[in-house]
Amino acid sequence: MENLGLLKLQLLYYGIRAGEGLPSPLANPFGLVHLVLPDKTPVSVHRNDNGRESPFTLKKDGARFHLDIADRECVPVKWTPPLTCYQKKTSSGLPVADILTVHGDFIAVHPSHACRFGQSGLSCRYCGSSKELSQHPPFTPRDLVEAVQIVLKEKRCDLVALSSGRVDTDDGGVEKLAMWVAEIRKHLNVLISLDLVPPASNDWIDQTYAMGVDAVYYDTDFFNPNDEPKKDFEKHKTRQLEALEYAGKIFPTGAVLSHLVVGLEPLEETKKSIDLLIDRGVVPVLTYFPPYDGSSLRARWTATPEAIVPLYAHLYERLVRTHINPQWVQQYDVVLTPLEGRFFSEQSARYHLKLKHFYETGFGRALRFGLAGLRRHLRVREVPRG
């Protein structure tokens, strides 16, 4: 395989077929198989059981695993067994799998209900939520802390990502997540990121950082496929950009991120959005979640892995030029991370890779956590109103 980046994209697009004699269970409770490609590149890939013909077959040869590509090529991979902790239960009797999903080095949580995608009836590849999950009894911050503690006993994770879901309130979802953040901060030494909507006022961004959040993913939409009146959309877009720019000044460099879904809009529009975000100090994370067959979005889907490669190259090169730190998205195994865009670029990634490897050491991790706390301690102040 010539390019590991392209391989990861293709795996995300096609999924894999399972060969003979593979261990069971092969996938986690959400149907994802965890693999590590060469160059320590993690990927979580769905089993191709839904009709799309995948050229990739996971095979086992003795103790080793490899990917067989259309019977022509072999790529050695590491298979990571699904975490056993998903089956474990918190003291209130909830299974861990009903509370969180682990992706590489971070833990994704939808505290209140299933995400929009999950509610549509299909299992969400990002947060693991589903219609079934949303019917489970709701869990409490205490349950979440216990579940994370159970995960941490089995696997090292650096970051807990909480998602507010789609909200229409002025705070962008911050208030709803405050008690969850407080509980995690109180009991666990991890970094915290929130998935939010850009809030109506910048005070909420200050509040978000001050309450102990290390990174934020803002839900943005800069492309208007004429669904909304132009004037309203422009107003909405201007506010989004203002909020992102402000957040870029409040959070550490690279810690303000935004998902851009690749393939649902013309690629040229996605490229424009990348530039808009990077110009404001925001790291775009290109999510390439090809819709399942049967999904209503399937018809709008146009992007093949080969077609989107220039987007990743552009993203990586712009990040390097603007000195924005891409380290906040390290081990994201369901997307091709901005740093993995290096596979499509001539620009050297030596510095960023060294930093990444340093953060993976015990000392680097402790230093990273310590510096994040120190930065907050120094920057957050309480001042009288008015």
Peptide bond into 326 cis (omega under 30): no
Tokens at 157, concatenated: 């994770």
Residue 296 Cβ, how far from other proteins at the closest point, in Å? 41
- Out of 235, 300, 321, 379, the only residue in the binding site for other proteins (CB under 8 A) is 379
Contact between 185 and other proteins per CB under 8 A: no
Task: Give me the phi and psi of 37, to 5 degrees please.
Answer: -80, 170
Nearer to other proteins, 350 or 385 (CB): 385
Residue 205 Cβ, how far from other proteins at the closest point, in Å? 8
Q: What residues from 208 to 267 belong to the interface with other proteins (CB under 8 A)? A: 209-210, 249-250
- Out of 39, 61, 132, 203, the only residue in the binding site for other proteins (CB under 8 A) is 203
Residue 197 Cβ, how far from other proteins at the closest point, in Å? 20
SS (H, E, C) 201-259: CCHHHHHHHHCCCCEEEECCCCCCCCCCCHHHHHHHHHHHHHHHHHHHHHCCCCCEEEE
Residue 252 Cβ, how far from other proteins at the closest point, in Å? 10
Q: What residues from 128 to 157 belong to the interface with other proteins (CB under 8 A)? A: none
Contact between 383 and other proteins per CB under 8 A: yes
Contact between 375 and other proteins per CB under 8 A: yes
Contact between 178 and other proteins per CB under 8 A: no
Nearer to other proteins, 350 or 377 (CB): 377
Contact between 328 and 372 under an 8 Å Cβ cutoff? The reply is no
Report the alpha-carbon distance of residue 1 to residue 129 in Å, rounded.
33
Contact between 206 and other proteins per CB under 8 A: yes
Contact between 384 and other proteins per CB under 8 A: yes
Window contacting other proteins (CB under 8 A); options: 64-72, 188-196, 287-295, 372-380: 372-380
- Number of residues this chain uses to bind other proteins (CB under 8 A): 16
CA-based R_g, the chain, Å: 20
Nearer to other proteins, 132 or 203 (CB): 203
Contacts of 212 (CB under 8 A, 6+ apart): 181, 182, 184, 185, 192, 376
Q: Strand, helix or coil at 327?
A: coil
Residue 384 Cβ, how far from other proteins at the closest point, in Å? 6
Window contacting other proteins (CB under 8 A); options: 183-191, 282-290, 345-353, 371-379: 371-379
Residue 383 Cβ, how far from other proteins at the closest point, in Å? 5
Residue 244 Cβ, how far from other proteins at the closest point, in Å? 15
Nearer to other proteins, 72 or 381 (CB): 381
Burial class (CB in 10 A: 0-12, 13-18, 19+), 72: exposed
Contact between 323 and other proteins per CB under 8 A: no
In terms of C-beta distances under 8 Å and separation of at least 24 residues, what long-range contacts does 206-210 make, across chains too?
206/250, 207/171, 207/174, 208/174, 209/250, 209/251, 209/376, 209/379, 209/380, 210/376, 210/380
Nearer to other proteins, 15 or 248 (CB): 248
Report the alpha-carbon distance of residue 149 to residue 144 in Å, rounded.
8
Residue 198 Cβ, how far from other proteins at the closest point, in Å? 17
Nearer to other proteins, 70 or 378 (CB): 378
H/E stretch holding 141: helix 141-154
CB atoms within 10 A of CB 299: 8
Contact between 380 and other proteins per CB under 8 A: yes
Window contacting other proteins (CB under 8 A); options: 18-26, 226-234, 361-369, 377-385: 377-385
Q: What residues from 85 to 124 belong to the interface with other proteins (CB under 8 A)? A: none
Contact between 362 and other proteins per CB under 8 A: no
H/E stretch holding 142: helix 141-154
Residue 172 Cβ, how far from other proteins at the closest point, in Å? 16
**DSSP assignments along 262-322, one per residue:** TTSS-HHHHHHHHHHHHHTTPEEEEE--PPPTT-GGGGG----HHHHHHHHHHHHHHHHHH
Tokens at 27, concatenated: 């996938």
First to last CA, the chain: 62
Residues that bind other proteins (CB under 8 A): 203, 206-207, 209-210, 249-250, 375, 378-385
